[in-house]
Structure 1
Amino acid sequence: MIKKSQLVFVPFPAIGHLVPTIQFAKLLIEHDEHLSITALLIQAPFDPAVDSYTHSLTSSPSVFSQRLRFILLPTSHHPHANSDQPSHPAPFIDSLIENQKPSVREAVSNLKSEPDTAQIAGFVVDMFCTSMIDVANEFGVPTMVFLITGAAFLGFMLHIHEIRERGNVDTTSFNFKESGTEFAIPSFVNLVPASVFTEAVLDKGWDSFFYSRANELRKVKGIMVNTFEELEPHAVQSFCNSDFKVFTVGPIVNIGEDRDEKVQQGSDVMEWLNDQPVSSVLLLCFGSRGYFEDTDQVTEIACALERSGVHFVWALRRPPSDSVSAPGDYCDVAEVLPEGFLERTARIGRVIGWAPQAQILAHKAVGGFVSHCGWNSILESIYFGVPIATWPLFGDQGMNAFEVVKELKLGVEICLDNRMGFCNVRKTEVISAERIEKGIRQVMEKESEVRKKVKHMSEISKRALMEGGSSYSHLGRFIHDILNWE
């Protein structure tokens, strides 16, 4: 008789982290009937959308309810709990996770004491939650990381950590726009300019946070990356001599599973898309945390859209009130748009707030995507065969944009370097309407080589998770390893 085992998942409470992690858990459950998963959900004190999503998971019955459980951890005190303006996201994230360790410890102890409970085989944690290794060690089980970024960025993290360990370079000393420095990163084919580096290695405020996460990644037994071998063959191969195992388990994309309370908000735009010609519509969407502080930039985008004449759906978000909260929706988008823009483009476009991005990308009318280049969005665009025009804002997005345009040739460039930075502290020049319009025209070109390559990669991505596919095989190897770890 095959023994039953369970995994403890600790995802990070941000929509871009949480949703793919839960979908990965479902994928594992589908793959092995002897496996169960308990996800310990941390509450997000500054993002009501995350709390709404986590509460929906704990209150709604699942088709996997016997083998996939959700436990909502109690809210813990942290230094910013009573602050309207958290000073910096890095210490906020650190304290949020560190203060949840007692709750995780208690929850796992309770799991172990349940009658007839399946043996706990290991922890699967988000890269922001790697300090939970300490808790897993207390229970004598291994820790694995589920990484929501690509393999190339994982290689970057580990390489920068390595050269910092050797004392060769201090990346925080670079002027990211003017240094002109390029690095040979093993997970990239091309030299990578410092201008596309994440601010996590350029900004003193993020430096220790990034260094700690990279250091902890080297202590885990394995890393599951949301990618597939055929998409990033060079990056995946760069880990062949690593001390830890890398499993490519993607593309894990959000196919028709947006938050229930939000779906109705997107119904009008979906109806409008039904009336548009095939591949005629451009989607502009900058992720769950993307926004433009500068209304001059909004004006330039509007001018570019109007001059291009392209049909469009534009998800335009209101800036948040502080450095850790999520953007919201405008009560009236007309207040930040050029006078008369909505009237002049009424036939060809829609300006909305929150967008059901996956459903829009899946629609046959959509032919291009102006994106912030979050890794989840890149995978969705590839899965649905929609080419990207890159416009990164912060985090890993600049490096993702560089990879999409220069390494993979699956997108066109509006810009490559991060325009904003966490906390919106990195101010850059406004991108002109002319430059935006050029990118729009390129990404919407019907017979371009980029479009052909994206369509081909779309077919490959759908096969990767099918039986016999590359990611399907990696999932099987991961389950075997974690269940047989000694």
Structure 2
Amino acid sequence: MKEMVDAREKPHAILVSYPLQGHVNPSVHLAINLASRGFTITFINTHSIHHQITSTSSAADGEGDIFSELRQSHGLDIRYATVSDGLPVGFDRSLHHDQFMAALLHVFSAHVEEAIEKIVRHSQPAVNCLIADTYFVWPGKLAKKYGLLYVSFWTEAALIFTLYYHMDLLRLNGHFGCVDTREDEIKYIPGVESIEPKDLTSFLQETDTTTVCHQIIYKAFMDAKTADFVLCNTVQELEHETISALQQKIPFFAVGPVFSTGFTRTTITTSLWAESDCSRWLDSKPHAHGSPHGSVLYVSFGSYAHVAKGDLIEIAKGLLLSKVDFIWALRPDIVSSDDQTPLPDGFIEETGEHGVIIPWCCQTQVLAHPAVGGFLTHCGWNSVLESIWFQVPMLCFPLYTDQFTNRKLVVDDWKIGINLCDKVRVTSVEVAEKINQLKEGTIGDEVRVSIKNVKSTSEKALASEGSSEMNIGRFIRKIEGRIRENR
């Protein structure tokens, strides 16, 4: 039974999502989760993200908002506003990543502040919380200026949070930000028994620490240390030691996986691309109930990061060598916006009935299908959580940012996936071998047993007496208490 908020202390939170697909999804789910417990939520999206969502879906018209149908069907008090991120709507943010990040660092906060001031001045019930993605550099300052509680929402693993939180220790010990970076194991981060430098996030492995992304991470975590509360999209039992150590320093609540499992996907969409429906093709393939596990490999490298063309070609050849049935969600800009035909010559013809290549799909719908037995993934955190939920073991091919650390959790700690590439460059032979290991080998059987156990842990966390449910209840009670104090 979800705890409902007393009307006298009803919180009204402004929630600002980071404008990337992997952050929008959990932010929307968090908004729905909190609104279902009695919060009023005013959700701030960017013009660009709003345009992408509404132009690829009938869920909202271009002038409306993405929560309109949900509001009518479920009576949730979720309001909606959009602001500029400082760049034209049609600007290619993926191709010009640094310019996009610079706009978020230097320009975006002015547009958000203008919206917050208007919402605070005119809204009833009164606004008392600002929930903002941890990667923003300004929430603490704006919350203080407008007399709001500051809730930092971390959409990734607690392990990543603690690595960034302790960047000063990494620097002090020569594992980050040095000319000659140490390559030995890291054993001094509180709550982290040990981690190899190769398993740090890509930003913590880079030698140039002056980039716009490094500036954002540094300033964001200085700001996050001032938060009244941190909500994290993870499960307490899966990262117990890391979370316990963080809780000694900051009010940190593991409330994941943040899914809106009670709502149908037709109620709200957050996809930035038009989705292809693969269900008919999947229905034609052997299902899990007809064999030990599903026969189809789902391949996707996420919504933002790019794959080197050489790697993409080797992966494509490896899929053919393995003879696996596959669905490949291949974004048109996966290599670059300038190269929209990156597959090897003759690949489509040679694939035949073995494979389906689509620009995008509803990932949860594909992973939920009983014909799907494996996921070749970039290890984005949402993809990891969704794989766990649908008990689909992973082949891990991280590309960027947190994905290298997520691979460590998946492969080394939880043993629910296989590392695709142990060399500097991936080869088609290695791809085929790893696919077949996952499909038919002893290792594949072991990861399927492990992922079943991890799914059970995640499911229990969301149950009425589970850790995530209890944690969000504690968070709400603390918010209510602080609102009473501030009257």
Query: What TM-score results when the alignment is normalised by the length of structure 1?
Result: 0.84
For each residue in 1:256-283, what CA deviation from the matched residue of structure 2 results, as whole angstroms up to 9, or x when unmatched? 637488897422x221001111211111
Change over 3 Å in CA distance of 1:83–1:468 after alignment to 2: closer
Query: In the alignment, what sits opposite 1:365?
Result: 371
Query: In the alignment, what sits opposite 2:166?
Result: 159
For each residue in 1:453-480, what CA deviation from the matched residue of structure 2 results, as whole angstroms up to 9, or x when unmatched? 1012223322322211111111111111
Query: In the alignment, what sits opposite 1:281?
Result: 296
Distance in structure 2 (CA, Å) of the matches to 1:126 and 1:482: 18
Question: How far did 1:328 drift?
Answer: 9.6
Query: In the alignment, what sits opposite 2:403?
Result: 397
Matches within 5 A, 1:18-97: 18-30=24-36, 32-33=37-38, 35-44=39-48, 49=52, 52=55, 57-58=65-66, 60-63=68-71, 67-73=77-83, 75=84, 77=86, 89=97, 92-96=100-104
Distance in structure 2 (CA, Å) of the matches to 1:412 and 1:344: 26
Change over 3 Å in CA distance of 1:265–1:376 after alignment to 2: closer
Amino acid at match of 1:247: F
- The partner residue of 2:112 within 87, 104, 107 is 104
Distance in structure 1 (CA, Å) of the matches to 2:198 and 2:275: 37
Query: In the alignment, what sits opposite 2:451?
Result: 454
Change over 3 Å in CA distance of 1:81–1:68 after alignment to 2: closer
Question: Quick check: 1:172 aligned with 2:177?
Answer: yes
Greater mean alpha carbon deviation, residues 373-382 or residues 452-461 = 452-461
Matches within 5 A, 1:461-480: 461-480=458-477
Matches within 5 A, 1:199-210: 199-201=202-204, 202=206, 203-204=208-209, 205=211, 206-210=213-217
Q: Per the alignment, in what secondary structure is the counterpart of residue 43 of structure 2? A: strand
Query: In the alignment, what sits opposite 1:426?
Result: none
**Does structure 2 retain, via aligned residues, the 8 Å contact 1:253–1:380?**
no
**Does structure 2 retain, via aligned residues, the 8 Å contact 1:147–1:223?**
yes
For each residue in 1:106-138, what CA deviation from the matched residue of structure 2 results, as whole angstroms up to 9, or x when unmatched? 3333333437x1132211100122412211101
Question: How far did 1:401 drift?
Answer: 0.5
Amino acid at match of 1:182: E
Matches within 5 A, 1:85-484: 89=97, 92-96=100-104, 98-114=106-122, 117-164=124-171, 167-169=172-174, 171-173=176-178, 180-184=183-187, 186=189, 189-201=192-204, 202=206, 203-204=208-209, 205=211, 206-242=213-249, 244-253=250-259, 257=265, 259=269, 265-267=275-277, 269-278=278-287, 279-294=294-309, 296-319=310-333, 330=340, 335-415=341-421, 429-445=424-440, 448-484=445-481
Question: How far did 1:187 drift?
Answer: 6.1
Amino acid at match of 2:404: G
For each residue in 1:278-306, what CA deviation from the matched residue of structure 2 results, as whole angstroms up to 9, or x when unmatched? 21111111100143231x32321122112
Distance in structure 1 (CA, Å) of the matches to 2:46 and 2:82: 6
Question: How far did 1:82 drift?
Answer: 10
Amino acid at match of 2:80: F
Q: Per the alignment, in what secondary structure is the counterpart of residue 139 of structure 2? A: helix
**Does structure 2 retain, via aligned residues, the 8 Å contact 1:329–1:353?**
no
Q: Per the alignment, in what secondary structure is the counterpart of residue 337 of structure 1? A: coil
Change over 3 Å in CA distance of 1:28–1:237 after alignment to 2: same
**Does structure 1 retain, via aligned residues, the 8 Å contact 2:418–2:434?**
yes
Question: How far did 1:395 drift?
Answer: 0.6
- Structure 2 regions of 5+ residues with no counterpart? 1-5, 288-293
Root-mean-square deviation (CA, aligned residues, Å) is 3.2
For each residue in 1:177-205, what CA deviation from the matched residue of structure 2 results, as whole angstroms up to 9, or x when unmatched? xx633212536655322223223232321
Query: What TM-score results when the alignment is normalised by the length of structure 2?
Result: 0.83
Distance in structure 1 (CA, Å) of the matches to 2:306 and 2:455: 28
For each residue in 1:366-419, what CA deviation from the matched residue of structure 2 results, as whole angstroms up to 9, or x when unmatched? 0011110010000000000011111000011011111211122121111379xx
Q: Per the alignment, in what secondary structure is the counterpart of residue 347 of structure 1? A: helix
Change over 3 Å in CA distance of 1:49–1:303 after alignment to 2: same
Q: Per the alignment, in what secondary structure is the counterpart of residue 353 of structure 2? A: coil
For each residue in 1:144-178, what CA deviation from the matched residue of structure 2 results, as whole angstroms up to 9, or x when unmatched? 111110111111111223444xx4436133678xx
Give the fraction of aligned pairs with identical amino acids, expressed as a percent: 27
**Does structure 2 retain, via aligned residues, the 8 Å contact 1:390–1:414?**
yes
**Does structure 1 retain, via aligned residues, the 8 Å contact 2:160–2:201?**
no
Question: How far did 1:49 drift?
Answer: 2.6
Distance in structure 1 (CA, Å) of the matches to 2:130 and 2:272: 31
Alignment coverage as a number of residue pairs: 454
**Does structure 2 retain, via aligned residues, the 8 Å contact 1:291–1:316?**
no
Question: How far did 1:240 drift?
Answer: 3.4
For each residue in 1:85-109, what CA deviation from the matched residue of structure 2 results, as whole angstroms up to 9, or x when unmatched? 9997456435335434344333333
Query: In the alignment, what sits opposite 1:17?
Result: 23
**Does structure 2 retain, via aligned residues, the 8 Å contact 1:125–1:144?**
yes
Amino acid at match of 1:430: R
Change over 3 Å in CA distance of 1:245–1:266 after alignment to 2: same
**Does structure 2 retain, via aligned residues, the 8 Å contact 1:225–1:248?**
yes
Question: How far did 1:143 drift?
Answer: 0.8
Change over 3 Å in CA distance of 1:199–1:382 after alignment to 2: same
